[in-house]
Amino acid sequence: MRNNASRDEYVPQHSSRYETKGTPSRGLADARIRVTKIAAIGMLTLAIIILGVTAKTYASERMAHSDASTVQTQNEKVSKSKASADLKTRLSKADFNDIPSGDTVQTFSLVDNKTPTLEDESLALLQDALSRAQELGDVGVVFYDLSSGKGVTYNPDVEVYGASSYKALYALYICESLVETGQVSLDDSLGTYGGYNMGWQTVRDLIDAAVVNSDNDSFIALRAAFDRVGYEDWIASLGIDYDTALDPMSDFPTYCPRTSAKLWREMSEYLSRDSEMSQWLSGLLASTTRSFIRDGIADDHALVRNKAGWISEAGCNATCDAGLIYVDGDIYIMSIMTSMPWSDRSSELVTVIAKTFFDTRAALA
């Protein structure tokens, strides 16, 4: 709606055509009547115009709201989900060391001794999905409810070439450790850092391209610029054993689902801040062009923020995906890492694994 100052634009400006004629008294009386009528007409016109402007503005606001990006709508859904879940269980960084190891399907609880139990049918489906994938490569999975601390896992320490799945986690490092602290602005040009020729693209554009479209050049440019600004310290602060489970000096590191789960837990904490930067990153993660998890669960009520990785190349085969799933007021973290060479078949198998693990969530409440 317009403010009072702008309403002045619509006050009728009476011109010489309204000047009175005739005897002074009668003319004055007639003039007063005419002026009164004109004023009434003017006020009515003003009211109509104001109502029209108000209606138009309201309609525009409704149109803008209805046409807002999917990302904004998803952010609102996540905020409601977070408010409901309220991150009831604040798992420490060390808790994830208690996730059981081994190449059998196991359930666990990181906060009490009440380990969930899976029905035989669910267990059989999990084992079948994992067995089919293992015909093509190693497989490791961690899936747990961030609110209850309960989860399901399989081979969480298998080390797999993470490929592009790590791009979101490196973006987390930049946003959380550098942008939020004021050391870096998203609008800075990377051409100004360390003498590297980055094409003078902004940090914002490079993160966007790396996370949403999985652009390799953008990701490598980010690493070249920011690895030396505190990256190793950030990794160590999260309790990550980067000598064995994560090589911080490799652009595309080899790591395991347990490490992935720790890092995505940090991601969930960061996104829950509701800062401008965290919500911007949240929107990118909801807009990734490829998500085996999203395809697998195919739930209209679920919101997935993820980053997948895929490659078919000797020595570094991978079909991976990891991220956050918001549904029914709960937040789940899922990490699926496999050394299957990327193909339509491996993509299908990872989506099936995502679905079968997601379908166990009722037992994790």
pLDDT digits (tens, 9 = 90+) for 55-114: 333 333 333 333 334 444 444 444 444 433 444 556 665 588 899 999 999 999 998 889
Q: Please, are residues 164 and 361 in contact by the beta-carbon 8 Å criterion?
A: no
pTM of the predicted protein model = 0.76
User: What's the average model confidence in pLDDT over 234-260?
Assistant: 83
- Per-residue pLDDT at 89: 55
Q: Which DSSP category does 202 fall into? A: B
Q: Burial letters for 115-126: b for 16+ Cβ neighbours within 10 Å, e otherwise?
A: ebebeeebbebb
Residues 6+ apart with CB under 8 A from 109: 115, 116, 148, 149, 150, 151
Beta bridge partner(s), residue 167: none
User: What's the average model confidence in pLDDT over 143-147?
Assistant: 94
User: What's the average model confidence in pLDDT over 32-45?
Assistant: 36
pLDDT tens for each residue of 134-144: 999 999 999 99
